[in-house]
Every structure is written in structure tokens, then in C-alpha cells.
Amino acid sequence: MQRLRSSVDRWGVGARWLHWGMLLLYGASISLGFYMVDLPLGFAKYRAYTLHKSLGISLLVLIGVRSLWRLIDAAPISVVSSRWQRVAARIVRVAFYIVMWVMPLSGWLYNSAAGFPLQWFGYIHLPALVESNPHIKILAKDVHVGAVYVLMCLLCVHVAAAGKRHWIDRDGTWQRMAPFL
């Protein structure tokens, strides 16, 4: 039986499910975002946008859960011996959390400033964050799209560091976070 909470040497099931589940949802949402902008006006584009927005709201809720979980669930003891690597890992982790908050919030702000209604999977109607405003719309869209690219860069750094630690350092990093080991 795997533990819900993390131990000194391994991430718990809660942290691992949030980690990998959010990766899949962010990947789906970002992929859908790139796909939908080139669709011609019509029902398919409308459906893609509504799904993208619903995924964004889901991610906003999950980043809230993940942030709270991170506060109450102690992280395993670091296996990194180098101070600069620990500092770099902390910077990347904090940047991830900031971007994971900024991306859905800026999307919601963009949607609000564009004057569109926001619903979560057609069930829950969410309020507009601001009145319709073309200046805020442009700024929020730029932040939203920029956050996508920052997140992808952070992901590349994260994967490269995890790969180095797994294949070069052989320090057990992959086993600590792997979803099914």
C-alpha cells in the first residue's frame, strides 16, 4: 500500500497524482490552445474554446489544491548534494508555481476583458473579473500566451535536470516521483 503523504525518501501518492495529472491537463490545454486559434469561425472553434476554458478553470482549482498540498505535505529529503543545484531547483519550482497560477488567471482575465461568459463545462457560471476592456484584453492575452512559453521552457529545464539526475547521477530521483513504481 502506497502512502498518500510523502515520506523522507519518496513523494506520496497525493503529490505524484497532482504532479503527473497536472502535466497531462496542462499539456492537453496548451495543445488545444495552439490548435483552436487556427480553426475557422464555427461550432468546432466554439467547442474548442469552451473546452480550453473549462480545462483552464480545472487547472486553476488544481493549482490551488496543489499549492495547499505542498504546504501541508513535507517534501522528501533532497538527494542533491550541490548547493547551486538546490538553489536552481528551488528557483525553477517557485517559477513553476507562479506560472501555473498566472496562466489560468490571465486566461480568465482575457476572457472577461473580451466580454465573453465563462462556464465550467457548462455547469458553473463564473463571474467576469473585469468589465469588457480592449486594453486589458490585449495585455491579458499577451501574459497568457507568454506564460505558455515560460511554462514550456521551465518544463524543458525540469526534464533535463531530472534526466541528468536519473541517467548520469543515478540518484533515484525518477523512482521518487514515478507514478507507478
- Each residue of 25-36: pLDDT tens digit? 999 999 999 999
∠ CA(25), CA(156), CA(11), 5° rounding?
65
Distance CA 1, CA 65 (A): 23
Gap between the Cα atoms of 178 and 10, Å rounded: 10
- For domain 13-173, is the CATH number 1.20.950? yes
Q: Write the CB contacts of 98 (distance below 8 Å, at least 6 apart in sequence).
A: none
Copy the grid coordinates of residue 26. 496542462
94-146 pLDDT, tens per residue? 999 999 999 999 999 999 999 999 999 999 999 999 999 999 999 999 999 99
83-113 and 13-36 are packed helices; what angle lies between their axes, rounded to 10 degrees? Answer: 50
